[in-house]
Amino acid sequence: MAAPGTTLFSLPRRRRPRDRRRGAFATALRQPSAIIGLAIIAIFLLISIFAPLLTPYSGGEVSCAVFEAPSAAHWFGCDDGGVDVLTLVLEGGRVSMWVGFTAAAIAIVIGSAVGILSGYFGGWVDTVLMRITDYFLVIPQIVLMIVIAAVWGPSLNHVIIVIGVLMWTGTARIVRSQVKSLRERVYVKRVEALGGSHLRIIMRHILPQLGPLLAASGVLAITVAIFNETALAFLGLSDPNTVTWGVIMERAFSRAAISTGAWWAIVPAGVAVALLILGCYLVGRAIEDALNPRLKISHLALRTWAIRPLGSTEDAKPRAKTPRASTSATDTTNGAGV
Domains of the chain from N-terminus onward: 46-291 (1.10.3720.10)
pLDDT at 19: 54
Phi-psi region of 244 (alpha: psi -120 to 50; beta: other; left: phi over 0): beta
Q: How far apart are CA 96 and CA 104, in angstroms?
A: 12
Put simply, whether the predicted model's pTM sits higher than 0.85 gets the answer no
How confident is the model at residue 103, as a pLDDT?
93
Q: Which pLDDT belongs to residue 188?
A: 85
Residue 151 burial (CB < 10 Å; 0-12/13-18/19+)? Answer: exposed
What are the start-end ranges of the H helices in the chain? Answer: 17-29, 32-49, 51-54, 85-121, 123-138, 141-152, 156-165, 169-183, 186-193, 198-201, 211-234, 245-254, 267-291, 293-306, 329-334
User: Which DSSP category does 66 fall into?
Assistant: T
**pLDDT of res. 272:** 92
Please spell the DSSP secondary structure of 136-176, one letter per residue: HHHS-HHHHHHHHHHHH-S-HHHHHHHHHHTS-HHHHHHHH
In the chain, which stretches have pLDDT less than 70?
1-26, 28, 59-61, 292-338
- Give the pLDDT score at 60: 67
